[in-house]
Amino acid sequence: MANPDETLFLAINGFVGALPILDRVARWVVSDYLVPVGLALMLIVVWFMKEDRDERAKHQIGVLVALGSMSLSSLVVFILNIYYFRPRPFEDLDVNLLFYQPTDSSFPSNAVAAVSGIAFGIWGVNRAVGWMAISAAGLYGLARVYAGVHYPLDVIAGAAIAIPSAFIIFKLRDLLMPLPLWLIKFARILRLA
């Protein structure tokens, strides 16, 4: 008997083919381009978007925190994958695949951990943009299940890794502060911060 993770995966992936337009949209959303690049562009907007100087500085530190959170999330996934490898759904099940066949471990989702790391980092400094980023990351995770490259638990685990990663980086920012502060001050000389 299939476990609940597989059952849920098959239920979501089973919709593939029902609506061709949905499959087309899923192919865009699941790609390595749309959501990751979209979130990176959000970081550019967050860097400059505030009119008030102090708020802008806070947002710029937030951008660096988001990048740190993404890096920490990816590092945690990398370490986990040394000890645990889960085959992709298409290796074990009859899947409707809308994406290429990745060769790395299915659990946890590295892609979702990375984009969620950015999203939660943005949310830490700007709730409005942060919710947009979290929604995009959530949609990305759902699309990865729909497209047949991850089980739901892989995606949930990826997001679950990103939340404490963002929190840790936020908490450590005072300790790490001289470095981002120097970076921002140097960028101010070049009129870029």
Partner 1 sequence: MFTFATDYYIGVFISAMGALQLAASLGGLKGLLIFKSPTVSRTLAIALVVAGFVLFFSTGSRNINDYEGGLDAPTQGLFFFLGASTAVLVTLVVSSLVNHRMRGDERDPSTGVEALRDTNYALALARSISYWCKNWRTQTKRYFSR
Among the listed residues 13, 16, 47, 173, the single contact to partner 1 using CB under 8 A:
47
Single out the residue of 7, 29, 118, 11 nearest to residue 73, CA to CA.
Answer: 118
CB atoms inside a 10 Å sphere around CB 102 = 16
Residues between 141 and 180 that touch partner 1 (CB under 8 A): 177-178
Among the listed residues 5, 10, 56, 164, the single contact to partner 1 using CB under 8 A:
56
Q: Which is nearer to partner 1, 98 or 157 (CB)?
A: 98
How big is the chain, counted in residues?
Answer: 193
- Using the rule CB under 8 A, is 58 a contact of partner 1? no
Single out the residue of 135, 174, 106 nearest to residue 38, CA to CA.
Answer: 135
Residue with tokens 């949609």: 139
Cα gap 89→10, rounded to integer Å: 9
- Using the rule CB under 8 A, is 75 a contact of partner 1? no
Contact criterion met (CB below 8 Å) for 30 and 112: no
Q: Which is nearer to partner 1, 4 or 20 (CB)?
A: 20
Among the listed residues 9, 16, 36, 154, the single contact to partner 1 using CB under 8 A:
36
Among the listed residues 33, 78, 85, 131, the single contact to partner 1 using CB under 8 A:
33
Q: Which is nearer to partner 1, 155 or 184 (CB)?
A: 184
